[in-house]
Amino acid sequence: MSPEIPPLQVGDAVPMGAGAFATVSEVQPYRHLVAQEAFVLRAFPGNKTRLIMRYQGTGFVTPAAHSIRPDAGRLPRLLRFAVRVLGVDLALRVRLSRL
Q: Are 17 and 52 found together in one domain?
A: yes
Largest CA distance in the chain: 54
Q: Are residues 32 and 6 in the same domain?
A: yes
Do 31 and 10 share a structural domain? yes
Phi and psi, residue 5, nearest 5°: -110, 115
The verdict on residue 63 lying in a domain is no
Q: Which domain holds residue 99?
A: 68-99
DSSP states along 1-68? --TTSPPP-TT-EEEEETTEEEE--EEETTTEEEESEEEEEEEETTTEEEEEEEE-TTTTHHHHHHT-
Q: What is the value of pTM for the model shown?
A: 0.51
Q: Does residue 18 sit in the same domain as residue 49?
A: yes
- Residue 26 inside a domain? The answer is yes
- Regarding whether 8 and 46 lie in a shared domain, the answer is yes
Q: Residues 48-92: pLDDT tens digits?
A: 999 888 775 565 677 777 778 888 889 888 888 877 777 655 545
Q: Identify the residue with better confidence: 57 or 4.
A: 4
